[in-house]
Amino acid sequence: VTNRRKNIDTGVSVAAELMGTEILYDFAHNNPILKTKPYTYTHNPRIIARISNFAAINSAMEVDLSGQVNAEFIAGRQMSSVGGLLDFIVGAFFSDNGMSIIAMTSTAKGGKTSRIVPQIEPPSYVTVPRHMADIVVTEYGIARLRGKNLRERAEALIKIAHPAHRESLERRWKESIRT
């Protein structure tokens, strides 16, 4: 990693915090190619958007067939917080040639539960609205959602769901169509 192609902080890796071993801290101490800055800088979507080709890579608990992302709750229990997820997704959305990727396994509970769901249902919440969804990746492929209508999104997401859950997702999608 050279950071030489970045529009801002060229040649420097920037982090809000560092956690690790003494080896890491020794490396970081007075190192001109590594800077720590406050989260008001590192997580600021306006600053992130200034970095061309910015790629935000995050995970989630579930994604519904419209592209809405839940990155916080499982079965009504809060497992995580929003953190910087939305900041980085918004920054990537407005970055020249930027992209945001939600990377997750297609199932949970040993394959019994699909992490691609027909709809995010209470008591879970939407962390990322569907209009900000860009790319979703599972072990079954990539669903590119940006610029697609709801039908195209659902089809793309069903293709990357676990094969054991695709038929059910497709049936639920067709049942939800009102036109």
Q: Return all residues near 14 (Cβ < 8 A) that are at least 6 apart.
A: 35, 36, 37, 41, 42
Block mean pLDDT (10 aa), the chain, length 179: 92 95 95 95 97 96 97 88 91 97 96 95 91 97 96 97 97 82
Task: Answer whether 0.85 is exceeded by the pTM.
Answer: yes
Q: What is the pLDDT of residue 178?
A: 63
Contact 87/41 with Cβ under 8 angstroms?
A: no
| pLDDT per residue as tens digits for the range 82-95 | 889 999 999 999 99
